[in-house]
Structure 1
Amino acid sequence: MRTWVISVLLVGSLIGLAGCAEKTTKEIPVEKKVTTQMIDQKAQDEAKKAAEQKKAEEQKPIVVNVIDPNTKKVIKTFTPKDMGYGTNDAKYKEDIEKWAKDLARGTQTTPGYDQRINPDRIAANGQLIKGTPRIILDETQLSQKVILASAKGGDVELPLQVSPSGYKPVDVAYLAEVVVATYSTHFNSGVIGRTKNIELSAQAINNVIVGTGDIFSFNTTVGPSDAAHGYQSAPEAVEGKLVPGIGGGICQTSSTLYNAVDQLGVTYVEKHHHSIHVGYVPTGRDATVSYGGVDFRFQNTTGVPLLLKAIVVKGTITVEVRTSAAYHSLIKKGH
């Protein structure tokens, strides 16, 4: 009897174990199915999210940001489509080129990025006084960059070309060694206003370094010839007549400079004559200037750095052009 009971219990245990095993086997596919469904749902959600993001990006307008490389700030933002890109490309290109030109050269109300070199000079104590380099904004390259970026959008940096003066620091101590050109003109020192104006403008160009390849601008170097800068009223040529004007007489300084550098191999960038004959130089040998207007500009194409000297003594202004003894034999002369 006892043996029979034990047998029954063993059979029951085995049946119970088989039942548990069978239940566990049946539940595995259900868990896998739930997990697969969760994965599929997650993939669907991600695909839907990506599609919505793509659609949003497609609907978002394409923009081009123009950035100043010095400040890293956005100075202009274009929406090409609104300006005709893709529908009127010729007009779009014309508008971009006009904008680039105004940005480089400036307008009546806004200064441009282009800057003439303000030359370095040597102080009375021999120390170097730094000016500012020549800066040119490449209008053509800027226009091309903006148009190229207009298809997909993006950032465009201004292509600025910065040109420091063309001389070596070691040159400074020797540039006054040799006079390679000189010219003098005379004036009535009794005319106080005119004398003062000649003295001030001569002082402004004295000891100025014109490096190899530099473009010298009289107006940029001298600055405003107005009362705020000490200039006085004196006769000046305006539309064929002599009339009183603040700064009258500075053209004698610019003309004397012209006749000095003309003896060398320089290239003229801008030069104008007076509307009337002036008595201090022969006819056709003058170079009139007016701050904010006509200028006298030349490029140093002599092959060596130069130093300008301007001396005013007893009714005479003399402009000398000098360089170092080491460069003397290398300098290119004028006609």
Structure 2
Amino acid sequence: MNVTLRQLSYFIALAEAGHFGRAAARAHVSQPALSLQIKEFEAQLGVTLVERLPREIRLTRAGHEVLARARRILAEVDDLAQAIRWREGLSGRLHLGVIPTVAPYLLPAALTRIRARDLTLELRVREAQTEPLLESLRAGQLDAALVALPVPGDGVVVDALFEDRFVLAGSARRLQAWAADVERLRPTALEADQLLLLEEGHCLADQALEVCGLSGRGQVDLGASSLSTLAGLVSEGFGLTLLPELALRLETAASDQLSLMRFAAPEPSRRLALVRRASSTDDGWMADLAALFREAAEPLLAEARRICP
């Protein structure tokens, strides 16, 4: 058997695209060339990997098994290339993933520091929710991801970065009314119908429900896609929400009607971390990257505590 890396990459493209034409476009080859490689791949393995339907393809049971192994193999190959690229720490090429509730607030300052450290670094950033970022990380498409703890699954190395506390955000009238009825400002005093959350899939929404001791969302569930949307809504008196300290400088600058209130100690918070594959080589680049993120976060967190003492 003489399976090639090209066949593995073409098969992964086909499985993800679900169509020969789209897979060929993604792989930058002609459709006949991709189809021939898939047929040869199946012949070498002695199994049918895809069901060829009129408008799409479906993976066979063997196809699903081969897909999982193909992704692991290509991730290992990428790790081999990475070991060569990073012989001198954080240099060469970096593919980084960041969750959306961190990216707009921390990335501008962090990327400035990263580029200042090495102008030759080839940097690519993907913003997505935690689950797709971890899938891409394990598949070798990302070198590292900045996410909130805990990180589900295994096969990754975690470097905890810093604590990001939550504050209560809303209009001045709503916050005053809410606080007047609460003896101590506890997140568990919030009711589901008062709380506006990000759409499902965002870890911040799950964390908000957890710290507030809520089992589900309220009757009005807007499913906002960004913290900026939530901040704009609650500043106009439409409910309350939790904002992380990282977001305070940007969101308060965007709306002079947004009011904030600290919870009583111990304040609810999230812990942000940098993760990489356990199989990837680390000659110091991850520690360098983590240090740059911590350095970028320090003034943002200090400013948050000035804005909302």
**Greater helix fraction, Structure 1 or Structure 2:** 2
* Higher Cα Rg, which structure: 1
TM-score by length of structure 1 reads 0.22
TM-score by length of structure 2 reads 0.23
